[in-house]
């Protein structure tokens, strides 16, 4: 059950991150879930260095710091994808 909740929350986080980065029209549901879940891992890694990292999306899906770190990671991940594909972050 935790896995399904993580996929749903990851999809919502990926969707919000795609709206922040103006990529909403070019991404589908599967891409949103992938970006949200990978962004959670990346955000936990990046914010973990500062001591601000949240928990796992699978275990603490509704913890505010987990959601913030997942969103930060998803935005950073989309920024990297934009940089590689378009040559600019936005």
Regions of the chain where pLDDT drops below 50: none
CB 36 within 8 A of CB 9: yes
* Predicted TM-score (pTM) of this structure: 0.83
Residues 6, 81: Cα–Cα separation, whole Å: 22
Cα separation of 28 and 39, whole Å? 16
- The pLDDT score that the predictor gives to residue 12 is 92
- The predicted pLDDT at position 82 comes to 83
pLDDT of residue 65: 83
Cβ contact 4:61 at 8 Å:
no
Residue 57 is predicted with a pLDDT of 64
């Amino acid at each position: 059950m935790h896995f399904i909740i993580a996929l749903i929350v990851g999809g919502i986080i990926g969707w919000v991150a795609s709206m922040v980065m103006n990529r909403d029209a070019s991404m589908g549901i599967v891409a949103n879930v992938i970006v949200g879940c990978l962004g959670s891992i990346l955000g936990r890694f990046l914010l973990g260095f500062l001591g601000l990292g949240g928990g796992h999306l699978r275990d603490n899906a509704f913890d505010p710091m987990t959601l913030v770190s997942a969103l930060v990671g998803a935005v950073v991940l989309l920024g990297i994808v934009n940089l590689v594909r378009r040559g600019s972050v936005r």
